[in-house]
Chain A
Amino acid sequence: EAQVTQNPRYLITVTGKKLTVTCSQNMNHEYMSWYRQDPGLGLRQIYYSMNVEVTDKGDVPEGYKVSRKEKRNFPLILESPSPNQTSLYFCASRTGGVNEQYFGPGTRLTVT
C-alpha cells in the first residue's frame, strides 16, 4: 500500500530536549516536505526537499532542521524544542512532476 508514515504519532516532551520525528514514504517520490498546523494559522510549510541531499526552507523554518540522506526518509529534528513548537506536524511526499501530494497521518507534539 502506498503511504507516508510518521513516528511517533504523539509526543510530549520538555523544553530543550532534542527530538526527531521520522517520516518515510514507499512511493519512490523525489519530493518531500514538512508542515505544521496551528489553530487560526492553518498549515504552513517548514522545510522541503527536492531530492536526496537537496533541501530548502519553507515559510517557518526557525527552530527546525531536516536531512535527506535517503530518498524514502525525511526526518524533522528539533534541536532545542520550545513551547511555541507545540503543534500538529505533517509530512508529505509527491513525485518530481506536477502531481498531488500524499500526506502522513500527523504527529501531535506538545512541548512543556
Chain B
Amino acid sequence: KQEVTQIPAALSVPEGENLVLNCSFTDSAIYNLQWFRQDPGKGLTSLLLIQSSQREQTSGRLNASLDKSSGRSTLYIAASQPGDSATYLCAVYSGAGSYQLTFGKGTKLSVIP
C-alpha cells in the first residue's frame, strides 16, 4: 500500500527566503505526482503536476522535482512571500489506471513579514 510522507510537518521562515518542502513515497511505481496548496478552511488548489516520465516542473516561483527511483519529490519556493502561507500537500497517483491518489499529511508553511 502506497504511503506518502511529508517533512517537515510545519515550517516558519522570514519573508524573502528560498525554501524546500520534501515528499517521499514508498512505492516507486507511480504515474504522476501532484503538489497542492490548501488555505485554512478552503479547498485544494493544484500547483504543479509532474508526470512519471518528467524530472521537474516549474511555475513562476515554484519548482517541483521528482526522483521516482528514490521515491522522493521536492517543492522549491523562491523568494517566499506572506501570501505563500498555507498547507502544502503532496499526492501520488498509483494503482491500475492511476485512479488511486494517496496524499501526504502536508507541510504547514508560515512566511513571516
Report the tally of A-B residue pairs with Cβ distances under 8 A: 52
CB-CB under 8 A for A104 and B104, given A56-B99, A98-B98: no
Is the CB–CB distance between A98 and B32 below 8 Å? yes
CB-CB under 8 A for A101 and B34, given A33-B101, A58-B100: yes
Report how far A45 CA is from B91 CA in the complex, Å: 11
Q: Tell me which residues from 79 to 112 in chain A have a Cβ below 8 Å from any Cβ of chain B.
A: 90, 92, 98-106
Report how far A98 CA is from B101 CA in the complex, Å: 12
Q: Which of B18-26, B39-47, B61-69, B78-86 contacts A (4 or more CB under 8 A)?
A: B39-47
Report how far A47 CA is from B36 CA in the complex, Å: 20
Among B32, B46, B100, contact of A45 (Cβ-Cβ < 8 Å)? B100
Contact string against B for A residues 44-82, beta-carbon threshold 8 Å, 1 for contact and 0 otherwise: 110010100000101100000000000000000000000
Interface majority SS (helix, strand, loop, mixed), chain A:
strand
CB-CB under 8 A for A42 and B106, given A48-B99, A105-B43: yes
Is the CB–CB distance between A42 and B49 below 8 Å? no
Interface size class of A (residues with CB under 8 A): 20 to 34
A14 near B: Cβ within 8 Å? no
Is the CB–CB distance between A104 and B105 below 8 Å? no
Q: Which residues of B contact A40 (CB under 8 A)?
A: 105
CB-CB under 8 A for A104 and B43, given A40-B105, A42-B106: yes
Having A31-B99, A33-B99, A43-B103, one finds 6 other A-B pairs with CB under 8 Å, namely A45-B102, A48-B100, A98-B93, A103-B44, A105-B42, A105-B43
Q: Show the binding face of B for A, using Cβ within 8 Å.
A: 31-32, 34, 36, 42-46, 49, 51, 89, 91, 93, 97-106
